[in-house]
Amino acid sequence: LGTYGDPRTTPKGSALECVKLAIDVGYRHFDGALVYFNEHEVGQAIREKIADGSVKREDIFYCGKLWNTFHPPEL
């Protein structure tokens, strides 16, 4: 599941609720990025679903991306 939502128009909490619902219906792979500005919500949703026993951590795949300007210059 891609988790992008325009931070100017997407209400706070949308990513949290979407990821929780996605886990409930069987999603296990989530795609995020620092520039989506919702990594905290996505992580919170995953933690809550692990805590309530809906899913195991080893069954979740989270793929994050780092914008090119954030790479260390020496690499």
* Known catalytic membership, residue 36: yes
Is 75 within the bounds of a domain? Answer: no
Q: In the chain, how many domains are there?
A: 1
Is 2 within the bounds of a domain? Answer: no
Domain that holds residue 49: 14-70
Instruction: Give the pLDDT band of residue 75 (cuts 50, 70, 90).
Output: low
Average pLDDT for the chain = 94
Instruction: Give the pLDDT band of residue 71 (cuts 50, 70, 90).
Output: confident
Is 7 within the bounds of a domain? Answer: no
| One-character DSSP codes across 20-72 | HHHHHHT--EEEEEGGGS-HHHHHHHHHHHHHTTSS-GGG-EEEEE--GGGS-
Is 42 within the bounds of a domain? Answer: yes
pLDDT at residue 70 is higher than 90: no
Instruction: Give the pLDDT band of residue 55 (cuts 50, 70, 90).
Output: very high
Catalytic residue among 4, 27, 36, 62: 36
Please choose, from the candidates 65, 61, 66, 67, the residue with its C-alpha nearest in 3D space to the C-alpha of residue 1.
Answer: 61
Instruction: Please give the share of the chain, as a percent, with pLDDT higher than 70.
Output: 99
Is 6 within the bounds of a domain? Answer: no
Is 1 within the bounds of a domain? Answer: no
